[in-house]
Chain A
Amino acid sequence: MELLDNLALGFSTALLVQNVLYCFVGVLLGTAVGVLPGIGPTATVAMLLPITFNFEPVTALIMLAGIYYGAQYGGSTTAILINLPGESSAAVTALDGHEMARQGRAGAALAAAAIGSFIAGTVATVALAVAAPPLARVALQFGAADYFSLVLLGLIVSIALARGSALKALAMIALGVLLGTVGQDIYTGTPRFVFDQRELYGGIDFVSVAVGMFGVAEILRNLENEQTRTAVVSKVKNLWPTREDRRRIVGPILRGTGLGAALGVLPGGGHVLASFTSYAVEKRISKRQQEFGRGAIEGVAGPESANNAAAQTSFIPLLTLGLPAHPVMALMVGAFIVHGITPGPNVITDEPALFWGLIASMWIGNVLLVLLNLPLIGVWVRMLRIPYQVLFPMIILFAAIGTYSLGFNAYDVYAIVFFGILGYVLIKCGCEPAPLLLGFVLGPLLEENLRRALIISRGDASVFLTRPISAVLLALAVAALVVAALPTIRKRREIMFAEEE
């Protein structure tokens, strides 16, 4: 079995002492930022990215991935205990999870979330291992025109899934693409929009954009009205679910895993969509519909499994096509590039140890997360008592140090102020920051492939429609655009996302 050989290679890499250690550091940090409201995985990965430059590539990626899926676990703890989702996909968990906590069943809710997440993570990791190689082989057939259409499709699908106005999301993507053009032109070397500042020739660093948009802007949002956090459930008892509970969560976990694994591949916010869809499905097919919203354990197990499965499978587009499906994935693209690896279909053949090591580490990470989240739940409960007044100066200081250490360039630090303010104003106007970051990372790819395709076709723009792969992808992009703009579907989308806040 080729798959088994590959997994053996993966585990032999992932089980190296330093890799297990940094996997642990990653999931620990991920859980921490998932638990703490006000700081998300995107800002954390962005801040820690510069630190990982000295690591072995596989170690760096294992740790960064750990932060991402660790945050999906941690988010549920806060949602259940204080009705405040630490991560956006945990919002739906708060509906029934917090209700269970108020009835004194916080332990069962946390256990259902953790067990569901573990099973989902395991299944989705296998799905990733099985699905990635054939997809990468397909992706190798892609020409420049196909890549252009694929990136365009990815960007447009990401707005169909985003919350809020599709028009604004489109404009945010365009803005991100524009900001990505700052710096030297790849074909002619002409410096563009640099205002004669040598420091800008290399372009704006995406870490500064991410830290500004997701870190600084978020802090300003939180400082708008300061309030003391609501009382925390002090003791969590009866962690092990009863036989009745165990019987009730099997179905939701399996269905949630399937839904999450499938939806996680979509760019933009597959994990959020997955948890909402899973909740809707469980509510519809349940025999105890009236219990939903009043502490139904199915309403915790299903969505939590779904978002964790989606967190794993969202690595599929990154590892096979080089396309990030989530802002954190966009940062991972940067991590790959810093280590001299171009993310895409070649990773699997050029760097098999890295590819399979990363996948195997996800399963190890999931084991570590169960250990971290169930026996050590008391630690996280105590962490919720850290006042925000300590937390936000720490984020600002670490953000400044982190971006400075990128290249010892003060411009990278100034950039986080610029993007912090810009992001804050735009977020206040109802624009989501995620499309901008995706546009920023994918913009250069879009331009490069557009120009290369036109050079290859001798300036004939119809190449995008005559190549079958490209034509199909463009048709899908148009369809996604229509779907995002149609009023009826948009209304349903708004209802789905309305409960999130």
Chain B
Amino acid sequence: MERRRSFPDVLAGGIFILIGGAFVVGSLGYELGTPLRMGPGAFPLLVGAIAAALGLAIVIKGLIAGEVISFGPIPWRAVAVIVLAVLFFGFTVRGLGFVPTAAVTALLTTLASTRVRPLTAVAVAAGLTLASTLIFVVGLQLRIPLWGPWLGF
């Protein structure tokens, strides 16, 4: 087998080591207990160590004989816009109410595509807001106020 480095392998392994390690460190703060009566920290400690060990194995394998995976481009604009849109939804839905929150979230999300035209974006956002209001609030009786307290209603 030829020797090849694989960036995705190293990155994936690194993530597993990081998260596994974090859980190991965190679980040391809880009682470990005895095998007879395991404390809350024992199981996460064990699994965290396994995850970190597997991560280490993936990193080593990635440095010696990694999988050939093309990492490909990252759609930074889509990542940023979608993260923003969903965080906005979670943050404001209680205060602004369903309709304005859904409208802004939908409009923001449409901008994730690099090909969208402004008029299309507005049309899609309006349509989705109407549809989701009808489906979730009118149809399924979801208990979220249509207009929230921040708007003075």
**A residues near B, CB below 8 A?**
51, 54, 164-165, 167-168, 170-171, 174-175, 177-178, 181, 185, 187-188, 190, 192-193, 216, 219-220, 223-226, 388-390, 392-394, 396-401, 404-405, 408, 410-411, 413-414, 416-417, 420-422, 424-426, 428-431, 443, 447, 450-451, 454-455, 458-459, 461
Partner of A425, one of B11, B27, B143: B11
Q: Are B19 and A178 in contact (CB under 8 A)?
A: yes
Q: Which residue in chain A gives the minimum CB-CB distance to B49?
A: A174
Q: Are B20 and A175 in contact (CB under 8 A)?
A: yes
Q: A171-B54, A405-B144 are in contact. List 10 more A-B contacts (CB 8 A).
A: A54-B141, A171-B12, A171-B16, A171-B51, A219-B82, A392-B112, A411-B90, A414-B90, A417-B87, A451-B38
**B residues near A, CB below 8 A?**
8-9, 11-13, 15-16, 19-20, 23, 26-27, 30-31, 34-41, 43-44, 47-48, 50-51, 54-55, 57-58, 61, 67, 69, 71-75, 78-79, 82-83, 85-87, 89-91, 93-94, 102, 105-106, 109-110, 112-116, 120, 124-125, 127-128, 131-132, 136, 140-144
Closest 9 CB pairs of A and B: A459-B36, A413-B90, A429-B12, A174-B51, A185-B40, A429-B8, A171-B54, A410-B90, A393-B109
Q: Are B85 and A396 in contact (CB under 8 A)?
A: yes
Q: Are A455 and B36 in contact (CB under 8 A)?
A: yes
- Using Cβ atoms and an 8 Å threshold, which residues of chain A touch B34? 459
**What are some 21 contacts across the A-B interface (CB < 8 A)?**
A54-B140, A167-B61, A171-B13, A174-B51, A175-B19, A175-B51, A177-B47, A178-B20, A178-B23, A181-B43, A192-B41, A390-B127, A392-B109, A394-B128, A396-B109, A397-B102, A400-B89, A405-B142, A410-B90, A410-B91, A426-B15
Report how many A-B pairs have Cβ atoms within 8 Å: 201
Q: Are B54 and A193 in contact (CB under 8 A)?
A: no
Q: Are B136 and A401 in contact (CB under 8 A)?
A: yes
- Using Cβ atoms and an 8 Å threshold, which residues of chain B touch A424? 79
- Using Cβ atoms and an 8 Å threshold, which residues of chain A touch B30? 185, 190, 192
Q: Are B91 and A167 in contact (CB under 8 A)?
A: no
The docked-state distance in angstroms from the alpha carbon of A426 to that of B48 is 18
The docked-state distance in angstroms from the alpha carbon of A491 to that of B57 is 20
- Using Cβ atoms and an 8 Å threshold, which residues of chain A touch B141? 54
The docked-state distance in angstroms from the alpha carbon of A388 to that of B110 is 10
The docked-state distance in angstroms from the alpha carbon of A8 to that of B108 is 51
Q: Are B72 and A451 in contact (CB under 8 A)?
A: no
- Using Cβ atoms and an 8 Å threshold, which residues of chain A touch B38? 187, 450-451, 454
